[in-house]
C-alpha cells in the first residue's frame, strides 16, 4: 500500500490518521459523557447530609450528633471537589486528538488530496469539501474550548458543548454522504478510505 495520496486514491498515512481520529473521538465522547462533573452525586449527598443536621436538635447527644454530621459532610465535599472538572483521561485524549488534527492539516498540505471519487456529483464535491473543512475546524475548536474551560473560566462550557454538538451535525452529514453512495448507490466510495 502506498504511503502518500495520489492518482490511486488515499495513501496509508491519510487512512491511519482518519480512522485513528475516529477511534479516539468515539472514546472521548464516552469519557466526556460518563465522567463525574460539577453538581455530581457527592455534591448532592453533601447537601442532604447538611440538611439532616436539624435532626440532631434537642437530642441528648446533640453536640456529638452535629460533629458526626459535619464530619460526613466534609468527607463528601472533598469527594465532590475531587470529582470536579475533567478526568486526566479526558484531557489526555483531547490533547491527542488536537495533535492528530494538527498532523492532518500538515499532511494535507504536504501530501495533497487524491482526485475526487468519480461517483461524486459536482454539488456533492462542493458539499463534501465544506464538510471536511468544517470537520477539521471542529477537531481544533472542541479541544481548544476544553483547554480554555480548564485554564480560563466556566464561561467556555457553552462553546465546548456547542462545538461538539456542531460536530455531531457535520459528521452526520459526512457519514450520510458516504452511506448514500455505499448503501443506496452501491459504488465503492467507502473503500477509498479503507
Q: Give me the residues that bind ligand HEM (CB under 6 A), please.
A: 14, 18, 21-22, 25, 28-29, 32-33, 37-38, 85-86, 90-91, 94-95, 97, 104, 108, 117, 132, 135-136, 139, 142-143, 146-147, 149-150, 160-161, 164, 171, 174-175, 178, 189-190, 192-193
CB of 78 to ligand HEM, least distance (A): 17
CB of 92 to ligand HEM, least distance (A): 8
- Our measurement of the distance from residue 189's CA atom to the centroid of its chain's CA atoms, rounded to an integer in Å, reads 27
CB of 49 to ligand HEM, least distance (A): 22
CB of 147 to ligand HEM, least distance (A): 4
| Residue number with CB closer to ligand HEM (10 or 69) | 10
Q: Are 160 and 146 in contact (CB under 8 A)?
A: yes
Amino acid at each position: 500500500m502506498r504511503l502518500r495520496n495520489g492518482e490511486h486514491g488515499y495513501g496509508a498515512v491519510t487512512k491511519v490518521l482518519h480512522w485513528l481520529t475516529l477511534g479516539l473521538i468515539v472514546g472521548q465522547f464516552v469519557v466526556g459523557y460518563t465522567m463525574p462533573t460539577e453538581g455530581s452525586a457527592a455534591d448532592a449527598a453533601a447537601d442532604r447530609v447538611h440538611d439532616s443536621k436539624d435532626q440532631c436538635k434537642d437530642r441528648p447527644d446533640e453536640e456529638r450528633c452535629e460533629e458526626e454530621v459535619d464530619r460526613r459532610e466534609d468527607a463528601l465535599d472533598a469527594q465532590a471537589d475531587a470529582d470536579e472538572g475533567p478526568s486526566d483521561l479526558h484531557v489526555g485524549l483531547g490533547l491527542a486528538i488536537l495533535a492528530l488534527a494538527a498532523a492532518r492539516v500538515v499532511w494535507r498540505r504536504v501530501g495533497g488530496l487524491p482526485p475526487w471519487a468519480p461517483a461524486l456529483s459536482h454539488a456533492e464535491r462542493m458539499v463534501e469539501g465544506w464538510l471536511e473543512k468544517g470537520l477539521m475546524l471542529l477537531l481544533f475548536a472542541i479541544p481548544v474550548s476544553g483547554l480554555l474551560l480548564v485554564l480560563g473560566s466556566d464561561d467556555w462550557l457553552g462553546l465546548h458543548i456547542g462545538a461538539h454538538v456542531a460536530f455531531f451535525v457535520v459528521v452526520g452529514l459526512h457519514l450520510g454522504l458516504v452511506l448514500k453512495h455505499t448503501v443506496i448507490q452501491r459504488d465503492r466510495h467507502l473503500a477509498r478510505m479503507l
